[in-house]
Structure 1
Amino acid sequence: MSRLGAWFRGSAPKPAATPSPAASQTDLRAREVAAMEDAMAGASMIMNDDIDGAEERLRKGDSSFHHLGIGVCVFMKSILGFEKAIMVEASNRLYDCENAAWNEMKKAQKEAGSATGTEDRIYPPGSEYALVIADAQLMSAVVGVLHESLTEGIKGFYKLRKAYITLDGIMQAETAYLKKKGLHSNSSKEQITSSSNSISAGRGGANDDTDDTDLEFVDADEAHPGAQTTMNYEGHLGEKSNHLEKKLGQLSLDTDATPRPSSEKGDTPVSLSQNLNPGPDSDIFNNPIDAFVHSGVYMCFGCLLLIISMVPPTFSRLLSIVGFRGDRERGVHMLWQSSRFDNINGAVAGLMLLAYYNGLLSLADILPSEEDVKKGAVVGYPKDRCSELLTQMRKRYPDGGLWRFEQARVLGNSRDLHGALKILKSNTNSKMRQVSALNNFEMALDSMYVHHYSDMRENFLRCIELNDWSHALYYYIAGCAELENYRNAFHAEKKDESQIELHKKKADELFKKAPTVAGKKRFLARPLPFEQFVARKIQKWEERSKELGIDLVDAVGVSPVEEMIYLWNGPKKMQTPELEMSEKALSWGRLTAPEEARHKIKGEIDEQAVRDVCRAAVARSLGQFDEARELLDSVLAMDKLAFKGTTKDDYALPAANYEMAVLAWAEVQKPGLRRMASKADEEDWLREKTEECQSWLDKVAKWEAFVLDARIGMRVQTAMDTLRWYKRERGWATA
């Protein structure tokens, strides 16, 4: 495929061509708009729970917009179901889409070049097709990274880079146009500048039409009196082409191409919905193609910035090799802007926002308070705004199971787990199997949080039928549920031997099944972290049962259900009755091993650490902060070397450090916990506590690799963003 960068540079003068009649250009434009709107309407059916209907409608069209719509259908199936065969199909479809869009982009540029007269364009000719190419490349990148092959993952990162550069070029064209119209802030913090400041000059070779490298993009000049805005973006070309690899290392997604409201004292914050980002009802985007490009670029760029900002510290170090850095605040702003548009781009942006707030932020503990969010803290959870967005999307797509699923997650995050389960149970008959899989997994988690062990077991076993993500984990957690049923029967006042044996046998079968299917799913050629975790757990229990001469199920120590609840941050969603049930489940008295064996299990350092970390999280959620800190102190006093070994639970110690950071933040956020000599000491005390929180997080971020470092790392990354925001708000930021 020819280089995408050539689209953005000024072309050499061409021989005069016979101008096309104006009527012909109008007809072409009308057909293009009709094809785009038909394709978007077809793709929107996905959001209304009809992915098969969407695909059927889209196959009737042959434009690159229709190809993109089909690509989105297959992409949605692949990422929601994690099925390898569908991922391969998605890659092929998206490749075809890229080729079709490339041809239409070149055709549009050629026709625009031969047209007479001037047109006041926001974007260069063919931008809509360049966006389609970038869309396809982004989806290809995601599929490649999720693929089990390291080679495919590397290809994915390359496509990510190419998509970024394309989007950056389109964004600069919009920036130049808005500046020409006077739609920019006078505040230096809000000047719209190009992200290409962090990208060195691309080197153009002689073979521009076949070379696959990309060009540098620089800031568009301010509009000058009497100057004409060119039809094509005229980037500056370098002179050589032998520094491509070096340029890759200098690429950054920490772009200033989109504005961020200033928080410095004396500056007047500018709403993104005002003059910097005109909405769908403004005169700026009254052209449907311009609205498509604007909403699409903001959706794609927002997703890029947000996703890369959330990767855990260990993985972000890998990304830094190729220069990728995200920006959570700017990414969120861009997604909110895109969600204002009533098209497939706005729907995807809305879905991404809800997935972020209801999913990833639900794993986090160190966030701004609700009061701070109402004042504009972007890194927090805007509950009212999310509810408004969800209501809007449900009106647009009343049959969409995805939106009911998100509604259930909103209730879960509001500690209404029983209300969430009610919605999830009524949302099981989606026409999209992928939505059913997501819905069922959430139902399994919520059943776990409310300690409904039989429902929990059945829901996790049903996950095996609905998707291929990690059957080992599903079997394992189903076994954990059966273990709790066994322990309940074992410790019941009126023992029923048949029930004891039944649950013990089922738990044993499920635990032994888990390792046999582990390792079949991989990420960048590596085993999934949770599958490694499962394999180590079962091996640990098998070795213990052999050493102590007891059955596998009796060799289990700390409640593995409570451990799973902690790892999915269930305590954050649980009310007092569920938290008290967790306290009981974490009692050593729940073990079923004989007394001597029980004493040896209790004596293992990592077993004690896991139990105390789980108990500390429960105590913190109950408001028992002193007890939580006491439990964590006991873990932090343990010898780090005691956690070394192939079957040791090595995550417990870094998790304890993270929990200490959470406790420090709780004191910052809750005035009643602040221990100060006087009100005058408050600022110093707050700064001290904030730095204490930061120091605990820094320890975890620099921790050596451990099995669940990505799971803990996501919480740490969100916490780091929160502290950066807080220090900036208080005027403590050093940079």
Structure 2
Amino acid sequence: MFRVLGALTGTGGPAKLDQEEQSEKILSQAHDFEVALQAMDYVLDDHPGKGLQLLEGSGAKPKNEEDQCVRVLARGVIEFLEATLGFEASVMKKAAATLSEAQQLSAKRRQQFQKMGLKTSSLYPPGTEYAVTFAEACLLHALLMLFSESMVESAKALFKLRKAYHMLREILNDINAAKKKKGSAMYAQGNNESFASFVSADSSTFKSVDIPYSLSTEEQQNKELMELAENVYNMRKKRLEGAHIGNSPAIERLRTDLGIQALKDLPKKKEAKKPVTLSKAEIDKDQATIDEFIHSGVNLCFGILQVVLSLIPPAIGAVLSVVGFHGSREEGLRLVWRSTKDRNIHGGIGLLGLLFYYDGPFQFTDVDFDVPATSDGLKKTSSNDLDNSTLLHPGKMLEDALLQARALFPNSALWLLQEARMLSSRGRLQEAVDLMDSIDVSGIEMKQVRALMIFDRAMTLVHLHEFERAAEDLLSLLDINEWSHALYTYFAGCCYLENYRMCQMGLMEYSRIDFFKERATTLIFDAPNMLSRKKFMSKNLPLDRFMLRKVEQFKKFQSQLQLQDPLDAIGVSPVHELTYFYNGYNRMTEDCLKLSHKLLTEYHNPTIDAKEPNQELVKNLLTSLTSRRLGKVQEGCDMLDKNVLPQIITLQPDGKVKYIKKTEDPWAYPTALYERALFTWKLKGLDGLEECKMWLTRAQDYADDYELSARIGMKIKAAIDRLEG
């Protein structure tokens, strides 16, 4: 055993281990990985405390410090999830430090295993698992930087992504070489006895799928090895069945439909004893833990990496060309989908990524670019892979994957939130609110998820025009979140402003008008004072900068028009601008869209009546979008062509475009060009493909480094890539 420790810590040089020492080391490592996978699943079930306790508990600690690698990564993944859910500066900093440590440990560990030739996988070269942990830590660290929506941080993140990219390429080369060498039979888990599940043939001998070679007679009779192998096998079996974190079997909670009614109907289905089971892919107990970690990790990391690279805004495209690589969104999405088939943290993160991509608050795949599934170009790539049309609109497949996660993690508000988001993205807004109301948010262990739940509920209430309750939710976030207090305050004020305007228009009870007026005035104009107090990574967030510019704009109009009431200086309803940023128009019901259209077009005050050109531009842009969503596509397009685009571009006689650079509402200008492409698509379909691309290219060329440029730039690029595909 001293030789094992010496070899692994480097104190005795890269000594080779004898087979019995190797077997013990391999099984101990598989046990460590199972502990880490269990800990990370506790987080997916809203028990981060239990997960961290498991990683740090005395019974789980490895015998030497070098074996901490996978546990440090697991801790980094837990902190990464907390950081990206809450964006609190202290958690972001902590996660970055842990992931940096995991990178260093992984590089060192991989080198040690390579020197010793310690092969822990039946498929992959020595140290491959630590190449995966390195790439994973590197990728997650880079994503933390990208999520800041800062152009500078995004540029820095690219160089970190490059490290991950090259390591993943190296792993893929190793995997392809192994495939070539061993042949397809090895990958089909065919005749080789080392691929059998753990089987205790009698009381004195055993085999283990986790040991990548045939065991000697002595090893087969070693009781300590047998107990360790049985322990690893049982941990894996319970994990694959979803019974490893204290919950009853997942199949008891598996539904076929979304929504709170389907939840209420569950007991009836149980009584009827319908044969509901998890898929066979979810219960493959005959796969070694390390092999599973490697291939699910590579699928997830390389998939996410390619999707992220394909979404990088054009403003930092120059950096991308220097770095020398790019991503294929379709291939990336296929790999992430593949990772979701594994019942481990990689599958969980993969599914969360897909849900954010398809049904998240920003929706990179705009539902209005509904590329028809019948297009000749949309064909299956292989029997196991998804065709392009399914990648664009996964529909029931994504829903089923989410319902499976809801069954596996019944205590998790995170997955409940994802279900509410999916309902919202399908226009089932009231059902989304009802689902979020079905749990006590104060009981959610992860405060980041609690904050997200309240914020998402507020957004959904805004889309439903339930502005007062939305404002109350937004203001409650001041006691939960560390950052963005100015934005929450401004947004709540905008909600009260809309109620004030509805009272003025006779759409609400007039007796409460003074209350709404006072709340709107106080919150909107006090919001900038909070910027110095709560910042993200010592900077104001893009939406905070947007808010600051808007309030300064209102004050300017008040001064120019010599208005006594500051609310009269607010032109286009600011809550409708914010609704656009959170994809509200694509989610509203017909009645909600009609009300939005009415509020945008029929409300009057001195600033609106002054018909200031920039205010008119924003109002006409938003009005054209409600017209399109209400089916008046040509009417909306005409409004955009007549009242918006001439302020942004002029067409030259030679066919070239001259951009009129404006700064008053910088988000609106590339957005208008993007939306013009969408109008062409809705009016002409595939016949308008080239014209759509032309408008999107113009949108991309207009873009500058303004607040929200990262978000809008990604939306434009996603559309271009989709149409080119």
Q: TM-score, normalised by structure 1?
A: 0.74
Contact 2:88 2:536 in 1 (8 A): no
Change (3 A) 1:617 1:363: farther
Match of 1:630 in 2: 638
Contact 1:615 1:628 in 2 (8 A): yes
Distance in structure 1 (CA, Å) of the matches to 2:351 and 2:562: 55
Q: Secondary structure in 1 aligned to 2:117?
A: helix
Change (3 A) 1:635 1:18: closer
Structure-to-structure mapping, 1:223-238, within 5 angstroms: none
Change (3 A) 1:419 1:110: same
State the Cα distance separating 1:298 from its structure 2 match: 1.0
Match of 2:476 among 462, 465, 468: 462
Match of 1:723 in 2: 723
Structure-to-structure mapping, 1:570-719, within 5 angstroms: 570-587=584-601, 589-593=602-606, 598-600=608-610, 603-636=611-644, 638-640=646-648, 648-669=664-685, 686-687=686-687, 689-705=688-704, 706-719=706-719
Match status 1:441 vs 2:455? yes
Match of 1:564 in 2: 578
State the Cα distance separating 1:660 from its structure 2 match: 1.6
Q: Give the partner amino acid of 2:613.
A: I
Match status 1:325 vs 2:326? yes
State the Cα distance separating 1:149 from its structure 2 match: 9.1
Match of 2:402 in 1: 390
Change (3 A) 1:712 1:445: same
Unaligned runs of 5+ in 1: 1-15, 185-277, 670-685, 726-735
Q: Give the partner amino acid of 1:92.
A: A
State the Cα distance separating 1:18 from its structure 2 match: 7.4
Match status 1:366 vs 2:369? yes
Distance in structure 1 (CA, Å) of the matches to 2:576 and 2:348: 36
Match status 1:548 vs 2:561? yes
1:213-250 superposed Cα distances (whole Å, 9 cap, x missing partner): xxxxxxxxxxxxxxxxxxxxxxxxxxxxxxxxxxxxxx
Match status 1:309 vs 2:325? no
Q: Secondary structure in 2 aligned to 1:650?
A: coil
Distance in structure 2 (CA, Å) of the matches to 1:378 and 1:659: 24
Match of 1:228 in 2: none
Match status 1:481 vs 2:483? no
State the Cα distance separating 1:76 from its structure 2 match: 1.6
Match of 1:189 in 2: none
Contact 2:337 2:351 in 1 (8 A): yes
Change (3 A) 1:693 1:485: same
Distance in structure 2 (CA, Å) of the matches to 1:494 and 1:145: 43
Match of 1:289 in 2: 290
1:579-599 superposed Cα distances (whole Å, 9 cap, x missing partner): 111111102x42344xxx553
Match of 2:521 in 1: 508
Match of 1:73 in 2: 78
State the Cα distance separating 1:148 from its structure 2 match: 9.7
Match status 1:87 vs 2:73? no
Match of 2:33 among 28, 31, 36: 36
Distance in structure 2 (CA, Å) of the matches to 1:356 and 1:148: 16
Distance in structure 2 (CA, Å) of the matches to 1:90 and 1:540: 38
Match of 2:198 in 1: none
State the Cα distance separating 1:375 from its structure 2 match: 6.0
Distance in structure 2 (CA, Å) of the matches to 1:161 and 1:400: 34
Structure-to-structure mapping, 1:253-272, within 5 angstroms: none
State the Cα distance separating 1:354 from its structure 2 match: 1.4
State the Cα distance separating 1:323 from its structure 2 match: 2.9
Structure-to-structure mapping, 1:150-189, within 5 angstroms: 156-183=157-184
Distance in structure 2 (CA, Å) of the matches to 1:493 and 1:322: 56
Q: Give the partner amino acid of 1:591.
A: H
Distance in structure 1 (CA, Å) of the matches to 2:507 and 2:42: 55
Q: Give the partner amino acid of 2:552.
A: Q
Match of 1:238 in 2: none
State the Cα distance separating 1:564 from its structure 2 match: 1.8
Q: Give the partner amino acid of 2:445.
A: K
Q: Secondary structure in 2 aligned to 1:462?
A: helix
Q: Secondary structure in 1 aligned to 2:363?
A: helix
Distance in structure 2 (CA, Å) of the matches to 1:598 and 1:721: 38
1:4-47 superposed Cα distances (whole Å, 9 cap, x missing partner): xxxxxxxxxxxx99753211111111111111111111111111
Distance in structure 2 (CA, Å) of the matches to 1:37 and 1:410: 31
Change (3 A) 1:413 1:155: closer
Unaligned runs of 5+ in 2: 1-12, 63-67, 186-279, 379-385, 650-658
636-645 vs 650-659, which deviates more? 636-645
Q: Give the partner amino acid of 1:691.
A: E
State the Cα distance separating 1:49 from its structure 2 match: 0.8
Change (3 A) 1:120 1:524: closer
714-723 vs 463-472, which deviates more? 463-472
Match of 1:191 in 2: none
Match of 2:188 in 1: none
Change (3 A) 1:637 1:396: closer
Distance in structure 2 (CA, Å) of the matches to 1:138 and 1:302: 11
Match status 1:530 vs 2:543? yes
Distance in structure 1 (CA, Å) of the matches to 2:456 and 2:364: 13
Distance in structure 2 (CA, Å) of the matches to 1:494 and 1:180: 74
Match of 1:194 in 2: none
Distance in structure 2 (CA, Å) of the matches to 1:493 and 1:287: 64
1:534-567 superposed Cα distances (whole Å, 9 cap, x missing partner): 1111111101112222221111111112222223
Q: Secondary structure in 2 aligned to 1:342?
A: coil
State the Cα distance separating 1:531 from its structure 2 match: 2.0
Distance in structure 1 (CA, Å) of the matches to 2:372 and 2:533: 42
Q: Give the partner amino acid of 2:690.
A: E
Q: TM-score, normalised by structure 2?
A: 0.75
Match of 2:189 in 1: none
Match of 1:239 in 2: none
Change (3 A) 1:154 1:123: same
State the Cα distance separating 1:156 from its structure 2 match: 3.9
Distance in structure 1 (CA, Å) of the matches to 2:541 and 2:322: 22
Distance in structure 2 (CA, Å) of the matches to 1:690 and 1:618: 23
Distance in structure 1 (CA, Å) of the matches to 2:174 and 2:41: 27
State the Cα distance separating 1:656 from its structure 2 match: 2.3
Q: Give the partner amino acid of 1:599.
A: D
381-390 vs 649-658, which deviates more? 649-658
Contact 2:462 2:579 in 1 (8 A): yes
State the Cα distance separating 1:50 from its structure 2 match: 0.8
State the Cα distance separating 1:624 from its structure 2 match: 0.6
Q: Give the partner amino acid of 1:390.
A: L
Distance in structure 2 (CA, Å) of the matches to 1:144 and 1:523: 12
Distance in structure 1 (CA, Å) of the matches to 2:605 and 2:301: 53
Match of 2:47 among 34, 46, 50: 50
Contact 2:365 2:718 in 1 (8 A): no
Contact 1:448 1:565 in 2 (8 A): yes
Contact 1:613 1:632 in 2 (8 A): yes
560-569 vs 315-324, which deviates more? 315-324
Contact 1:582 1:618 in 2 (8 A): yes
Change (3 A) 1:110 1:644: closer
Q: Secondary structure in 2 aligned to 1:398?
A: coil
1:182-234 superposed Cα distances (whole Å, 9 cap, x missing partner): 559xxxxxxxxxxxxxxxxxxxxxxxxxxxxxxxxxxxxxxxxxxxxxxxxxx
Q: Give the partner amino acid of 1:159.
A: K
Match of 1:241 in 2: none
Q: Give the partner amino acid of 2:455.
A: F
Contact 1:651 1:708 in 2 (8 A): yes
Q: Give the partner amino acid of 2:616.
A: Q
Distance in structure 2 (CA, Å) of the matches to 1:69 and 1:663: 46
Match status 1:25 vs 2:41? no
Q: Pairwise CA RMSD of aligned residues?
A: 3.1
Contact 1:134 1:166 in 2 (8 A): yes
Instruction: Give aligned-pair identity as a percent.
Output: 31
Match of 1:260 in 2: none
State the Cα distance separating 1:105 from its structure 2 match: 2.5
Change (3 A) 1:448 1:607: same
